[in-house]
Amino acid sequence: MRFEILTLALIVGACTWAFRFFPTKADLSGIKPDGMLARFLASTGPAAIATLFVASVLPMLKGGLPLPLIIGTGAVLAVYAAMRSVVLATLAGSVGYGLAVWLL
């Protein structure tokens, strides 16, 4: 393995570990609920989900808009709007997408 690749893997691994470890140890009781840090921390999760969604959908859109993608995304949005549950919405989207691929 090249030294540059190993170094990059170690840096990314250390940063990922720090990003996941230190928030669990931080004392956040002193921050204001409507302050800038609280808003930043509250928006990090949805921003990561949106980024992952766009990164996984973009390759599918090269040949047009596939029906399984429409069904899966529609199932996520419908279940989340009805129940406000991220878990159930994710499961509904997976089931909708899988059934659409299976049927087609």
N-term to C-term CA, the chain: 43
Question: CA 40, 44, 49 angle in degrees (round to 5)?
Answer: 155
pTM (whole model) above 0.85: no
Kindly give the confidence (pLDDT) of every residue in the chain, 104 residues in length, as a single tens digit, with 9 standing for 90 and above.
789 999 999 999 999 999 888 878 888 788 888 889 888 888 888 888 889 889 888 888 888 889 999 999 999 999 999 999 989 999 999 999 999 999 98
What's the pLDDT at 28? 78
Instruction: Give me 9's structure tokens.
Output: 């893997």
Report which of 103, 104, 100, 102 is spatially closest to residue 72, judged by C-alpha positions: 100
What's the pLDDT at 26? 81
